[in-house]
Chain A
């Protein structure tokens, strides 16, 4: 099997020397260029080519109104686009709408569609399609249903306008409209059946499904009618399903694929430091948290929860488990979302003596035994669990870690069959209402994310936050909510996760979004 036979050795050496010589000359030339002027053609985007994007799960359903999991969501958002969207930093920007206006009373939202918008099949986008799409969103009652109190949707195809009137002010509405589930599709599925349509969907997005194995790869080709001039640059984009994260990383390192959706935090510096690969990292809308089941007697005691919060060195945990890629959390709302209290200093802070003091004030001064539930297959979470176990042993609380597979985990916590657990919270939009509603609304189906936490003041503030227009008053509402949550600790935000994607150094122009999706219309590959 050996390739280094005596006869090939001299040849290899000669080749090596010529390579070294060429490289030296090239480096000198490049150095000369760098001194004399702008960099060479590296930065000039080239159109064409195929980008292979490795992902840990395959897209199995492209119905924008019934899906939420990222394997589907980040394929759907390449096909369907909303009126407004958000950029890398979560700022809301006009997308299919060329502009939007909100009436002073916060009730009427008016959008004007861009001129000449077409679907990928070449047909024109009508304003009425927006009404059809948003109504289907509500009718389907899917996981990202618009929750604004919409009274009417009026459209004018000639004027390309969409006017949405609300029954009462609902400030998060514009933010809700940025989600992929608010995407636009042709009325009545362009004459096809619903099933037929979603097998070969037609939207305004930069890419069109060309070949799709719901349990494997998904190949997109460029939408020739895309509204962004000259975009997308790529001819095709392939979502390759690779079930193992280590394999994903190795394939990127070997240049076998062009980009990967997820880089494990432990490998982020390796991807960043390697000349052949590039790390794309940004703030995300996800927060790793410890959730308490407040129906358990021990965890219904606020002093116990506070004691645990004070016993955990979140800086240390974050550093150890995310290898410096994430920031330790100090509030429920991450800094990437409006009105975050990350720098307000509400957090209790790490102090073992204070933790012991809190526990002494609780109904369990001598400690107790509890089980920490985690989903298996997540190395970083398993590590956090161990640190929590050791930290709590210091204050007299004995923790047993129960690690079960995701399906069983989900069944357990949804049935409130757990003591406390590690899980992550994620916002779908740049407005704080979504996260707060999902994690602190006792009337919501998730009962404050299965913590069963109820605080009437928080509930009242939450409702107020929805109707108060953006500004200092609304900011104060969310700061108050986060202050109360920090004091009462129904969950401990551990760290604000970062989005971590990897590409080979030949790939340029990817835009990482805070929801962990990537925009590919500006992507190009060096030849």
Chain B
């Protein structure tokens, strides 16, 4: 523990240093940090994309099951199945199909027409993506709305009853499969209480409120599933930061407790949680896909499930590619946010 001088200037300096707001350095460092993060992500984007595209292409074809048989049903004669395979280009050698597939991505920016519906994969994805993205976004917001207050409440008095409750209760939803959380929410809040629709998405013409209402339970399901590790992480980090020397210094300088808590402590503790959030992104997207099925929402998840069961190769490939792009984009955003929160990450080396 350093000895604390009574000079106000020292405290101000400590305050400033803790907040990391040296205006001159910030203006130089921030764009560079963002540029560096972008470059870092970009250097991983290409291999990730190529990997996803190639792996999905070949995995789908290794798995048994033939799209033509799925389209035509049990009664189809082998001749009819063969004719359809030819029409869909499935009889061509695998390498040729792969080259055509990659060419199509590069020239048209999509993975081909759906074998089942004949609609371009790009169109299918664009019509399904908004609702899925909305669930991802709402789930993220709800997860933070659950996490931050609970973690803050818990650390107000470590090992108090609120702290115990916050440590124990969220683990309940953590132990539940996502579809189960969804079903419970449907039964309680939609079927019995009637506060929310059971499923589906309110039509665009109905206005924003019914639309948000119809997405609330699905988003909450995902949020409840992902909140527990976030709460734990944030609580642990908050405790750690609360006990840090600079906080003691700030307290000694009579910086208001509220300012310490929300400006310094929360900020210091947010970074690991944010990173955890980005690591959990796969869960978030995966969870959204599962939850769509439970709530009967015709988004990307439903499209993916449908396409996998009918072996609709171009659509599965398209959705996989799209999700990969999404993961990369969010990783980029997280890194930029990290740089904004933590000045150490944008220090010019």
Contact = CB atoms under 8 A, between A and B. Distances in A.
A405 B311 CA distance: 11
B199 A215 contact: no
B165 to A, nearest CB: 18
A250 B303 contact: no
B200 A240 contact: yes
A406 B294 contact: no
Contact of B69 (A213, A216, A253, A407): A407
B7 to A, nearest CB: 50
B127 to A, nearest CB: 8
Given A69-B73, A143-B75, A254-B194, A214 B119 contact: yes
Given A144-B75, A244-B296, A250-B190, A407 B116 contact: no
Contacts of B77: 141, 143, 445
A80 interface: no
Contacts of A344: none
A245 to B, nearest CB: 10
B171 interface: no
A445 B76 CA distance: 9
A241 B199 contact: no
A76 B117 CA distance: 15
A244 B64 CA distance: 24
Contact of A214 (B69, B117, B197): B117
Nearest to B183: A246
A243 B293 contact: yes
Contact of B200 (A214, A251, A414): A251
B302 interface: yes
Contacts of A412: 64
A50 interface: no
B69 A411 contact: yes
A161 B58 CA distance: 56
A514 to B, nearest CB: 18
A78 to B, nearest CB: 19
Nearest to A145: B77
Given A215-B124, A414-B69, A256 B64 contact: no
Contacts of B66: 407, 410-411
Contacts of B294: 244, 246-247
A361 B305 CA distance: 48
Contact of B64 (A214, A253, A407): A407
Residue among B194, B198, B306 with the highest chain A CB neighbour number at 10 A: B198
A220 interface: no
Nearest to A415: B64
Contact of B296 (A69, A248, A446): A248
Contact of A251 (B75, B293, B296): B296
Nearest to A199: B118
Looking at chain A's contact residues, the main secondary structure is loop
A242 interface: yes
B198 A254 contact: yes
Nearest to B182: A247
Contacts of A248: 296
With most chain A CB atoms within 10 A of its CB, the pick from B73, B293, B296, B306 is B296
B190 A254 contact: yes
Contacts of A61: 71, 117
Contacts of B117: 60-61, 214-215
A85 to B, nearest CB: 20
A320 interface: no
A242 B118 CA distance: 21
Interface in A231-288: 240-244, 246-248, 250-251, 253-254, 256
B22 interface: no
Contacts of B302: 243
Interface string A362-383: 0000000000000000000000
Nearest to A254: B198
B3 interface: no
Chain A interface size, as a band, is 35 or more
Max chain A Cβ within 10 angstroms of own Cβ: one of B74, B298, B309 = B74
Interface string B315-344: 000000000000000000000000000000
Nearest to B116: A60
Given A250-B198, A251-B296, A410 B118 contact: no
A420 to B, nearest CB: 17
A405 B65 contact: yes
B73 A254 contact: no
Contacts of B47: none
Contacts of A215: 114, 116-117, 119, 124, 298, 303, 306
Interface in B43-102: 63-67, 69-80
B65 A411 contact: yes
Interface in A390-420: 404-408, 410-412, 414
Contacts of B78: 445
Contact of B306 (A68, A143, A243, A414): A243
A438 interface: yes
B73 to A, nearest CB: 5
B186 interface: yes
B295 interface: yes
Interface in B286-314: 292-296, 298, 302-303, 305-306, 309-311
Nearest to A248: B296
Interface in A67-126: 68-69
Nearest to A417: B64
B42 interface: no
Contacts of A446: 74-75
A435 B115 CA distance: 30
A355 B187 CA distance: 46
A410 B194 contact: no
Nearest to B311: A407
A142 interface: yes
B244 interface: no
Given A216-B298, A412-B64, A143 B70 contact: no
A406 B66 CA distance: 10
B117 to A, nearest CB: 4
Contact of A143 (B63, B76, B198, B296): B76
B191 interface: yes
Contacts of B73: 68-69, 143
A3 B192 CA distance: 14
What are the nearest 6 A-B pairs in CB distance? A407-B65, A214-B117, A247-B296, A242-B296, A143-B75, A408-B64
Interface of B: 63-67, 69-80, 114, 116-119, 124, 127, 183, 186-187, 190-191, 194-195, 197-200, 292-296, 298, 302-303, 305-306, 309-311
14 contacts: A60-B116, A141-B77, A143-B73, A143-B76, A143-B80, A144-B75, A214-B116, A215-B116, A215-B303, A247-B199, A248-B296, A251-B200, A407-B69, A410-B66
Given A242-B296, A254-B190, 14 more contacts: A3-B195, A143-B80, A144-B75, A215-B303, A242-B200, A243-B296, A247-B198, A247-B294, A250-B198, A251-B199, A251-B200, A253-B191, A253-B198, A406-B65
Interface of A: 3, 60-61, 68-69, 141-144, 213-217, 240-244, 246-248, 250-251, 253-254, 256, 404-408, 410-412, 414, 438, 445-446
